[in-house]
Chains A and B, each alone.
Chain A
Amino acid sequence: MSTTTNTPPATTGSTEARKGAGPAALLFSVGGQNLSLIGALVVVLALFGALNDNYLSISNIQVIAEAATITGLLAVVQTVVIICGGLDISVGSQAGVASVVSAMAFTGAGSNALAGMAAAVGVGVVIGILNGVVIVYGRVNPTIATLAGLAAYKGLAQLISNGRAQGYVLNNDVFVFLGRGKIAGLPVMVWILIVTALAVHLLLKYTDIGRNIYAIGGNDTAARLAGIDINKYLVAVYALIGVVAAVAGILLTARTGSGQPTSGSEGLELKAITAAALGGCALKGGKGGIGGTLLAVALLGCLENGLTVEGINSFWQNVAQGALLVVAVVIQQRRSGERAIGLPA
């Protein structure tokens, strides 16, 4: 081996390939995955709009938006946990517990809305931390741990509520405002989703916390060796899910007027996970973002509403949702070029 000092062509362009302004740059920043989601959304809107005149009316769009809000909140936090390599299939049950707790605490505290909401959020934090601790320190696979949570928290909600809707909150201005109010023409619920999504988006993309979350999901060994306290992060992420699921539960109470142990929250985990997967979250972790998830939430919401408006049997909607989740993951795995040998990684 002759050892001439290998002077490389200093190709390290000191000017980084900056994306200039213009439509191409805009398209680039939106990303391929999101473009196909937008395409699918346009197709769905055009299809049902053609089939039904009312579908694209302002009032129906508003119905879609309100219905999608609770799913949207859970999908946003599901995105975070999937990015760091975990999963939470107990989000729907958590929302159910929070809904019941918020209504019962509200009633118990003499129609104090603040007490109801504080109690729900408190319970949410506890449940979230419990999930995190079981997963991290109990070494239970996240899918299994939160599958157990899915059953256990649902049971808990039914136990404390005796399986019935609890309380009546629509005599209270705060709950009425949350469930029915509007700010600048948009429902308050939608505003809550927007604010939450924006906050989580900023957290993920612009803070060191977000960087570390992506790092943990991308390569947990490397993250650990880079000094990131993985355990702390994971427990905190599950706690965040608990808080946001509690907010979803409170909104559920505000919309229906009473605390619902299961109705309205059952099955939300499937929607949340489907939205995250459709939105481009790699289920292996390390990849994904809030933008894609929100687009997928919108797509799912429009699809569901369209099918309902067209009078399609809701059983078929379940089939469609299950199929959609599988298709989203199959596409994802294809793209990552994984070889089809044995169980998927």
Chain B
Amino acid sequence: MSRAHDEKPNPRPPAAPAPGGAGVQGVSKRFGAVQALAGVTLDFPAGRITALMGENGAGKSTLLKILAGDHQPTEGSVVVDGRPVQLASPTDARRTGIRIIPQEPEIIPHVSVAENVYAGSLPRAAGRRLDRAELRRRITADLKRLGFDKVLDPDLLGSQLTPAQRQLVEIMRALTGEAKVIAFDEPTSSLSEHEVDALFALIRRLREDGVAVVYVSHRMQEIFQLADRIAVLRDGALAGVQDAATTSEGELVRLMVGRDLSAMLSRPHVATDRLVLDVRGLTTDDVRDIDLQIHAGEVVGLAGLIGAGRSELALALAGDLPVRAGTVTLDGGRLPSGNPGAVIRAGLGLAPEERKAQALFLHRSIRDNTSTVVLERLRRFRFVRRSAERELAQEYADRLQVRTPSIEQEVRKLSGGNQQKVVLARWLARKPKVLILDEPTRGIDVGAKAEIYRIIADLAAEGVAILVISSELPEVLGLADRILVMQNGRITGELDRADATEEAVLNLAMADDIAPATPGAAA
């Protein structure tokens, strides 16, 4: 899947850095125990396009949110025109000349394009009436100035717009008033090729106008087409800034990865030949033709970028999303679809991606949260046997080393790592044959991570078939016996433990064009 960008010549002469621009100076950001950004110093010079790359969770979004005034840095500051500025709110950032184009534009559905663009500063006639004539004059002039007059009808309603048009509305909003810095957050993810070309033409014009452009994307091809310089974030720190003319795709990937979790992740590999989960041609609204086999004691990693369809696959297997085609067999029996309760009874458990939103009852105790899926084993007639429940919850809290004064503690008062252990305790108590762990270590500190890796190793040793979905490549590489990579709702490749490298996984995950070939196992 390797593509030949490495030696791609860059015909563009490097533009002379204009004065102005913006940047961040020693910016750090902590969320509770998680260090999202650690001392990042990076400038976005005027009249240049700076691409921002990094794995999921590397800190790109946090950096953008700090620029946007959504988050305030724990340390350091945003710098505009060489001066540090305090951005207490998005309004402050806007006033300073910083604009962020979000990945999903916020469009008001039932009003016109014109009103969407100027929302918040609509022209007024006497008596606070909307000045429609002035609105029309403004939108016509702005559309013409930006060259959008052919593609965007100002009278369309927000709900009638295509994804590309929504993006244009967001860009027009950004360009009202004086914009010094414009950041694009993966703008092309919902655009067609033709629309991408138009967007790139606009971005290049912004550069010529002396705007500092920040461009966040996972797509190598685009970045080499567009960017003058490429900044790579890793684990919240700046891993390096490269000149687009001289760097290579391989070099960027090397900068993005490269951590040493190996010692923490090492475990005996105990996969057996006994097939436990057999998925054939599974198709849902989000994923297509998924073939997936997991054996007893095997840990299969599922890698891919956010939005590749991994969590949707997990939810479909758990019976929460409807299945359109394909079969799932668990231990020789057909796994029911569309009924989470039946799936659990058949022996499949899912620890979902968002533990607070999808797994935990935050206002209930550890005991209550642990026993949720085993109540039917704990009850006599319909009454839950309290002492048995307490023993069970205590047993798993001890085994997973949940740090809490008591199992009667409300789960919302626990740290992220301990909350995740409670989710795992729930499934350990159920003793499933297949356990799907979606981002099991997201947002938790290193110590708790190590403990969760140990729990996964123990489960595998007990013969559970495990699917680990993770956006942290070292984690997938370290834990899994075998790695499947998804992109755009499909499995684009399978790598064995022996020949899986971060580069290989990233190549499969970021491949712009999908090679149809996957392992010959497909039915």
Contact = CB atoms under 8 A, between A and B. Distances in A.
Nearest to B351: A225
A16 B407 contact: yes
A16 B394 contact: yes
A254 to B, nearest CB: 31
A226 interface: yes
Interface residues of B, number: 50
B345 A227 contact: yes
A226 B359 CA distance: 8
B124 interface: no
Given A10-B398, A16-B390, A208-B384, A229 B360 contact: no
Contact of A215 (B320, B372, B406, B408): B372
A215 B340 CA distance: 15
B222 interface: no
Interface stretch (B24-32, B170-178, B373-381): B373-381
Given A6-B450, A219-B361, A226 B373 contact: yes
A70 B359 CA distance: 38
Interface in B233-264: 260-261, 263-264
Contacts of B446: 1
Given A6-B447, A14-B394, A209 B364 contact: no
Given A6-B451, A221-B358, A286-B363, A226 B404 contact: no
B450 A225 contact: no
Interface in A181-225: 206-209, 211-212, 214-215, 218-219, 221-225
A214 B364 contact: yes
Interface residues of A, number: 33
Nearest to B401: A8
Most buried by B among A11, A13, A211, A226: A226
A13 B406 contact: yes
Interface in B29-49: none
Nearest to B261: A1
Contact of B384 (A207, A218, A228): A207
Contacts of B379: 207-208
B84 interface: no
A11 B59 CA distance: 33
28 contacts: A1-B260, A3-B263, A3-B450, A5-B450, A6-B450, A8-B447, A11-B405, A12-B403, A13-B405, A14-B398, A17-B405, A206-B383, A208-B378, A208-B379, A215-B361, A218-B364, A219-B358, A219-B362, A222-B358, A226-B340, A226-B344, A226-B372, A226-B426, A227-B342, A227-B343, A227-B373, A228-B341, A286-B363
Interface of B: 260-261, 263-264, 318, 320, 340-345, 350, 352, 357-364, 368, 371-373, 375-376, 378-379, 382-384, 390, 394, 397-398, 401-408, 426, 446-447, 450-451
Given A16-B408, A219-B360, A286-B363, 8 more contacts: A1-B260, A1-B261, A8-B451, A13-B405, A207-B383, A225-B350, A226-B372, A287-B363
